[in-house]
């Protein structure tokens, strides 16, 4: 089970780091021709979302694998799940129903990671 959770952790951290860095580095330019949700937000708001995603990606990996305050891994998973819940609201508002299903899957994966790592902390404690 630990291998599956680790693969999920690394995969989701990679996805969030990539999308977050894209929002930070490219900002509004990356989405200027897009008709997706990014067009509804200012460049500074997109960079803030990107910062949260990169911070969450670091939080998914660093505390657990460096064994420095490992409680922060489930906290980061929960925080990213809340970011994805906000994304669901944005997709509902724009009537992008196909994206909602993907957001729900990601929330469940993050919940599984958070729960498993939290359980691991209490069992080892």
Q: What is the pLDDT of residues 18-77, one digit of tens each?
A: 999 988 988 666 555 556 666 677 788 888 989 999 999 999 999 988 989 999 999 999
Rounded to two decimals, the pTM is 0.86
Domain count, the chain: 1
Domain extent at residue 116: 2-124
Alpha-carbon span 92 to 90, nearest angstrom: 5
Phi and psi at 26, nearest 5°, equal -85, -30
Q: What is the CA radius of gyration of the chain?
A: 15
């Amino acid at each position: 089970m630990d291998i599956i959770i680790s693969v999920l952790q690394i995969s989701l951290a990679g996805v969030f780091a990539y999308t977050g860095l894209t929002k930070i580095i490219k900002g509004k330019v990356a989405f200027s021709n897009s008709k997706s949700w990014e067009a509804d937000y200012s460049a500074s708001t997109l960079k803030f979302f990107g910062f949260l995603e990169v911070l969450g990606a670091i939080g998914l990996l660093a505390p657990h694998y460096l064994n420095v305050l490992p409680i922060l891994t489930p906290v980061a998973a929960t925080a990213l799940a809340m970011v994805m819940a906000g994304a669901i609201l944005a997709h509902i508002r724009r009537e992008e129903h196909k994206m909602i299903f993907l957001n729900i899957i990601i929330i469940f994966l993050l919940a599984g990671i958070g729960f498993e790592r939290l359980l691991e902390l209490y069992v080892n404690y």
